[in-house]
Amino acid sequence: MKASLIQHSQALLFLLTFTGTLLAHTSLSRADGSLVTDISSHLISVTSDFTGTDLLLFGTVRGDIASDGQEHGDIIVVIRGPETEVIVRKKERIAGIWANTDALEIDKVPGFYASASNRPVREITSGNTLDRLRIGPERIAFRELESRSDAVDFKRAIVRQRQAEQLYTDGQSKVYFLGPSLFRTTIHFPANVPVGTYTAEFYLFKNGDLISAQSSPLFIKKSGLGRQIYDFAQNHPAWHGLAAIIIALIAGWVASAIFRKE
């Protein structure tokens, strides 16, 4: 119900921020309908048995682009999770003990990042374009809150650790063309994905030039019992605390009573 509402109300959002720079590179308008895309679901519900999920992302490339000389254009799909601010701490050895000695606050850190393409992104377009569009975990636009020369080490640490947790992935899934214009890919969301508002971005390239770009929202929300518990804890923290204590008291008493009878 919710998912269909969102699907209906969802307009095809264009990457307005990029439009200016893109227009300089290509004469094509962003709203020319050369790319039509959708996602199998715009809402992922995280219930108490959530173990991760796969989303199907698909679309078509307009006929004349698809059939002109080269078989079809190139597609890059990027999913970005909700951005948060983090503090990255660095350890150093002091008197034999490893202790945090240095810290850097970094903003605009997405909780999730995944990309897929029909061939390696470096073959599709130039490094400059990839940089500008922030394609690839190593090109995410982290923003450190204080400028310093070794900030890049801290940012690399974020990417390294998130990659280890499978939260940042790069080219793990592939975009497949089914015929000249229809394409599809699946993106895996592991069980530890953060909840929040995501965006799915689709880029169409032809001979290394960006021809069209689209972005649509994607929501990951808690639902069911877990959602109710979470809301209760957030909205009524004092009652939640009391409830937690009472549950514990009852659990302890029940266990003791059961074992006494034996």
Partner 1 sequence: MPVYLPIAEISVNLFLILGMGGAVGLLSGMFGVGGGFLMTPLLIFTGIPPAVAVATGANQLVAASVSGVLAHWRRGNVDLKMGTVLLVGGVIGSFFGTWIFTLLKEQGQVDLLISISYVLFLGVIGGLMLVESIGALIRRKQGVVRRKKLHQHYWIHGLPFKMRFRKSKLYISALLPIGLGVLVGILSAIMGVGGGFIMVPAMIYLLGMPTSVVIGTSLFQIIFVTANVTFLHSFATQTVDVMLALLLMSSAVIGAQFGTRIGAKLRGEQLRSLLALLVLAVCLKLAVDLVLRPEDLYTIGLLGG
**103, 141, 152, 178: residue in contact with partner 1 (rule CB under 8 A):** 103
Cα separation, 4 vs 27, in Å, equals: 35
Q: How far is CA 29 from CA 60, 74, 132, 213, in A?
A: 17, 18, 18, 10
**Which of helix, strand or coil describes residue 207?**
coil
Q: 136 to 195, contacts with partner 1 by CB under 8 A?
A: 153-154, 157-158, 160-161, 191-192, 194-195
Q: How far is CA 114 from CA 3, 72, 77, 213, 229, in A?
A: 22, 23, 8, 17, 30
**Which of helix, strand or coil describes residue 231?**
helix
Cα separation, 215 vs 185, in Å, equals: 15
Taken in order 229, 232, 237, 243, is the CA torsion positive or negative? negative
CB nearer partner 1, residue 63 or residue 252: 252
**Minimum distance from residue 130 beta carbon to partner 1 (Å):** 25
- Contact range with partner 1 by CB under 8 A, out of 19-27, 78-86, 128-136, 207-215: 78-86
**87, 141, 152, 178: residue in contact with partner 1 (rule CB under 8 A):** 87
Q: 42 to 61, contacts with partner 1 by CB under 8 A?
A: 46-52
226 interacts with partner 1 by CB under 8 A: yes
The Cβ of residue 93 has, within 10 Å, a number of other Cβ atoms equal to 9
CB nearer partner 1, residue 44 or residue 213: 44
**Site of interaction with partner 1 (CB under 8 A):** 46-52, 84-93, 96-100, 103, 105, 153-154, 157-158, 160-161, 191-192, 194-195, 222, 225-227, 229-230, 233-234, 237-238, 240-245, 247-249, 251-256, 259-260
